[in-house]
Structure 1
Amino acid sequence: MRKAPTNARALARLGARERAAFFGRLDADELESLKTLWPFWARPEQLIPPGDWVYWLPLAGRGWGKTRTGAETVRHWARDFPLVNLIGATADDVRDVMVEGESGVLAICPRDERPRYVAHRRRLEWPNGSKSLLFSAEEPERLRGKQHMKLWADELAAWRYPDAWDQAIFGLRLGTTPQAIVTTTPRPTKLMRELLADSLTYKTQHSTFENIGNLAENFLTRVVRKYEGTRLGRQELHAHMLLDAPGALWTREMIEAALAGKDERPKLGRIVVAVDPPATSGENADECGMIVAGLASDRRVFVLADLSRQGETPLGWALRSVTALKEYGADCIVAEVNNGGEMIETLIRQVDANAPFRAVRASRGKFTRAEPVAALYEQGRVRHCGVFA
């Protein structure tokens, strides 16, 4: 008699009759328990690795199962450690992906093991008394002084403020084996390169295709087949760390050198919201470029925010540009009107009839227009107030 399968891969290798016999031997409670038995369903590389590592960094492509791996690691740690904390790129990401998402903590836990989500206190309270504090990387100061036994850091490469990671690491000091799992798609930021080079990091690289059997057919059609074989596909599907693009006006070194210190920003004499609207909307439309930047008295430019977004309706980006005008105390909205003409100003006036507006029309190619801006970076005259992934 063949031995019962110990994991999903062994189960998949059985014939239909043997699989039916396997499930037939389980009672109702065992069947229910099997649904959330992560060691049975996980691929080996999704399970907590052995060894004396401090940071577990499974670099993985889109759809590989990073979120599920992070949530299941938190679930496992919370059984034995009273403080297992979570940090996401934004507060929305923590709530919508790490906690309440389809592969988040609440979804993957069986009913008797599921923590209580106390949103107003930003925490998860586990049935056994453990707790998980929830943090946003957009608030580095809130991490100051906080301590962690175990930590899940999600999409580290997209964190706007590197100081958030520094504060998280300072707090990773409780217990005998403080550890962190870092789930992220790789981007060649300085922080990511330092983490990869750290001898305390256990790093592996995984492709989207390792989980191809669990991905929706339309995802394969829309994303995988479209980007496979492209430079972006190497990063987003195969988790390769891409360095500078051939012939690029901006190098990664220039962008990292532009990062402003926390207390560096001076009083700005002029602030603008710059908008490059797309001609259409929807998931296949061009991105709506939207940057907030200011000019200091010494003629240095400070980029305050990157609010670019894809798929918005015209009224959507018009509303966001006016909101940014007020939020950042900007003097003017500057919009390129090659694609839309007077309609662009009309849309903005529908949102706020008194919004200061200036139209510009591009008469030269993008590369030619970008060269003098790249030159400002080379001269050290542009500073970024945050990391804009």
Structure 2
Amino acid sequence: MRALIRVRGTGPTAARTLLEGLTDRDAAHLLHDWPLWARDKQLPPQGDWRVWLILAGRGFGKTRTGAEWVRALAESQRAGRIALVGETASDARDVMVEGESGLLACCPPWARPLYEPSKRRVTWPNGAMATCFSADDPDQLRGPQFDAAWADEIAKWRYEAAWDNLMLGLRLGLDPRFVATTTPKPRAWLSRLMADPRTMVTRGGTRENAANLAPAFLDQILARYDGTRLGRQEIEGEYLVDTPGALWTRALLAASRADGAVPDLARIVVAVDPAVTSGAESDETGIVVAGRDAANGFWVLEDLTARLSPDLWARRAVEAYGRHRADAVVCEVNQGGDLVAATLRTVDPSLPVRAVRATRGKRLRAEPIAALYEQGRVRHAGAFPEMEDQMTGFTGASGEASPDRLDALVWALTDLMSGPRAAESREFLV
């Protein structure tokens, strides 16, 4: 028989007496009794809700909460078909299923499910089944039906369509429900979800789970980020919308997103803002593709920014140049000088390269581009969440992290604003 002992609210002596009297079997059941160990915020809310949205800081225990919720549904057979959706396929596998707080780690030995990685499937002894999906492939969620779902780090998902397709598939059973766990980041569709009357929102911070975190980790992140805007988001779990003093707002960028197809473009450029180094802690190399149409409107086509070695970012830029049939590659040479253009030409000796050198501060260079957005002259051919995060967080204040994606965007649109010019390695100052 399952142990039903509760030690909450008892003193140390009484709790020790209770625990010492347990059999091995009772102790094992007690160890896997999640409602006993969970904090109140980690237990499902009462009431009539369709989505339980957990917006909380790093280390709050979001993954464990999601995994235990799924486990409870599966073991009680309240759900027979469950979707597990991570930001990527590897996230769904490595974090949600195989992670230290994932499903396999939470389930007790007597009810341990069978995990079949090749089928992306977790099956419990009673027949309940959970299937892994990647939010990077929204079409993967078309067709399947579920009576429950757990989505992890939804604020990092690139495509809103993944959320839409998942919600449309949540149609089995009498009361299909959904748990979403994420560190908050501003997203227009996330704001709409929070405002939905059938969404229950749980908020929490890193400190609430201090007893289960390495002291060194807590001390380090608090010393570095406590009291900062990033700390309010990543530690306290605050949902921060617009940065005071930023040149762009979420509403402005939402209005810039194109609904239809991209028209024929008169000019296209690939802009590169190269990083000085390429180590694990290095800045990213900004690579943005943009174009100008016949009506003097501007289109942001791709954000290919990544942390890459010089050879790899050069190859990525050259590949984008060919794929988009661009007119030139525009590259900043403040840090690398002539080596930047030379690196690009090692991949394609005939590549038309335009070198640019910054002589003004980042904010001064960005202000004319922000004005184009305010005039409604820039359209985004898709969602670029990482770049938009940089845009809405950039104020130009001292000490801000290098906005590599934004820098590349500014170089691209500045070049397109200046009209046709010869593609050459001669520098021009901005």
TM-score class, shorter: 0.7 to 0.9
* C-alpha distance in 2 between matches for 1:358 and 1:145: 48
* C-alpha distance in 1 between matches for 2:57 and 2:121: 29
Q: State which of 374, 379, 384 in structure 2 corresponds to 1:383.
A: 379
What residue identity is the alignment partner of 2:299?
F
* C-alpha distance in 1 between matches for 2:125 and 2:200: 30
What residue identity is the alignment partner of 2:227?
G
The Cα of 1:66 is off from its aligned counterpart by 1.0
CA deviations 1:53-94 (Å, max 9, x no partner) are 111112111111111111111111122111111222222322
* C-alpha distance in 1 between matches for 2:47 and 2:193: 17
Segment of structure 1 superposing worse, 188-197 or 130-139: 130-139
The 3 A distance-change label for structure 1 pair 369 and 386 is: same
* C-alpha distance in 1 between matches for 2:265 and 2:32: 54
The 3 A distance-change label for structure 1 pair 123 and 386 is: farther
Structure 1 residue 362 and structure 2 residue 355: aligned?
A: no
What residue identity is the alignment partner of 1:138?
D
The 3 A distance-change label for structure 1 pair 25 and 374 is: same
* C-alpha distance in 2 between matches for 1:233 and 1:227: 5
Segment of structure 1 superposing worse, 282-291 or 187-196: 282-291
Report the counterpart of residue 251 of structure 1 in structure 2.
Answer: 249
Report the counterpart of residue 298 of structure 2 in structure 1.
Answer: 301
Q: State which of 272, 284, 309 in structure 2 corresponds to 1:275.
A: 272
What residue identity is the alignment partner of 1:326?
E
Report the counterpart of residue 64 of structure 1 in structure 2.
Answer: 60
What residue identity is the alignment partner of 2:127?
G
What residue identity is the alignment partner of 1:170?
L
* 1:53–1:201 contact (8 Å) kept in structure 2: yes
TM-score scaled by structure 2?
0.78
Sequence identity (%): 48
**May I ask how many residue pairs the two structures share in their alignment?**
376
The 3 A distance-change label for structure 1 pair 146 and 387 is: farther
Report the counterpart of residue 6 of structure 1 in structure 2.
Answer: 6
Report the counterpart of residue 143 of structure 1 in structure 2.
Answer: 141
* 2:270–2:320 contact (8 Å) kept in structure 1: no
Report the counterpart of residue 326 of structure 1 in structure 2.
Answer: 319
* 1:189–1:256 contact (8 Å) kept in structure 2: no
* 1:293–1:303 contact (8 Å) kept in structure 2: yes
* 1:333–1:355 contact (8 Å) kept in structure 2: no
The 3 A distance-change label for structure 1 pair 346 and 193 is: same
- Give runs of aligned pairs for residues 110-129 of structure 1, distance below 5 A: 110-129=108-127
* 2:66–2:150 contact (8 Å) kept in structure 1: yes
Secondary structure of the structure 2 residue equivalent to 1:359: strand
The Cα of 1:219 is off from its aligned counterpart by 2.2
The 3 A distance-change label for structure 1 pair 199 and 209 is: same
The 3 A distance-change label for structure 1 pair 355 and 256 is: farther
The Cα of 1:355 is off from its aligned counterpart by 8.4
CA deviations 1:285-308 (Å, max 9, x no partner) are 444433343444544433344344
* C-alpha distance in 2 between matches for 1:272 and 1:130: 52
Q: State which of 32, 37, 41 in structure 2 corresponds to 1:41.
A: 37
* C-alpha distance in 2 between matches for 1:85 and 1:45: 23
* 1:157–1:191 contact (8 Å) kept in structure 2: no
Segment of structure 1 superposing worse, 33-42 or 164-173: 33-42
Segment of structure 1 superposing worse, 48-57 or 161-170: 161-170
The Cα of 1:338 is off from its aligned counterpart by 1.6
The 3 A distance-change label for structure 1 pair 295 and 219 is: farther
The Cα of 1:201 is off from its aligned counterpart by 0.8
* C-alpha distance in 1 between matches for 2:264 and 2:216: 49
* C-alpha distance in 2 between matches for 1:106 and 1:346: 51
Report the counterpart of residue 100 of structure 2 in structure 1.
Answer: 102
Choose 1 or 2 for highest CA Rg.
2
Structure 1 residue 265 and structure 2 residue 262: aligned?
A: yes
Segment of structure 1 superposing worse, 154-163 or 189-198: 154-163
Q: State which of 69, 76, 79 in structure 1 corresponds to 2:72.
A: 76
* 1:322–1:355 contact (8 Å) kept in structure 2: no
Report the counterpart of residue 242 of structure 1 in structure 2.
Answer: 240
CA deviations 1:148-183 (Å, max 9, x no partner) are 201112222222222222222222221111111111
- List gaps (5 residues or longer) in structure 2: 387-430
Secondary structure of the structure 1 residue equivalent to 2:25: helix
Report the counterpart of residue 415 of structure 2 in structure 1.
Answer: none
The 3 A distance-change label for structure 1 pair 361 and 203 is: same
What residue identity is the alignment partner of 1:277?
P
Q: State which of 286, 290, 299 in structure 2 corresponds to 1:289.
A: 286
* 1:273–1:321 contact (8 Å) kept in structure 2: no
Segment of structure 1 superposing worse, 227-236 or 126-135: 126-135
Secondary structure of the structure 2 residue equivalent to 1:232: helix
The 3 A distance-change label for structure 1 pair 131 and 292 is: farther
* C-alpha distance in 2 between matches for 1:123 and 1:215: 30
Report the counterpart of residue 399 of structure 2 in structure 1.
Answer: none
* C-alpha distance in 2 between matches for 1:229 and 1:318: 39
* C-alpha distance in 1 between matches for 2:26 and 2:335: 60
Structure 1 residue 373 and structure 2 residue 369: aligned?
A: yes
The 3 A distance-change label for structure 1 pair 355 and 156 is: farther
Report the counterpart of residue 212 of structure 1 in structure 2.
Answer: 210
CA deviations 1:239-282 (Å, max 9, x no partner) are 22212211211011111112233x52345565544332333455
Secondary structure of the structure 1 residue equivalent to 2:55: strand
* C-alpha distance in 1 between matches for 2:341 and 2:17: 68
Secondary structure of the structure 2 residue equivalent to 1:157: helix
The 3 A distance-change label for structure 1 pair 78 and 371 is: same
Report the counterpart of residue 408 of structure 2 in structure 1.
Answer: none
TM-score scaled by structure 1?
0.85
* C-alpha distance in 1 between matches for 2:384 and 2:312: 24
The 3 A distance-change label for structure 1 pair 291 and 94 is: farther
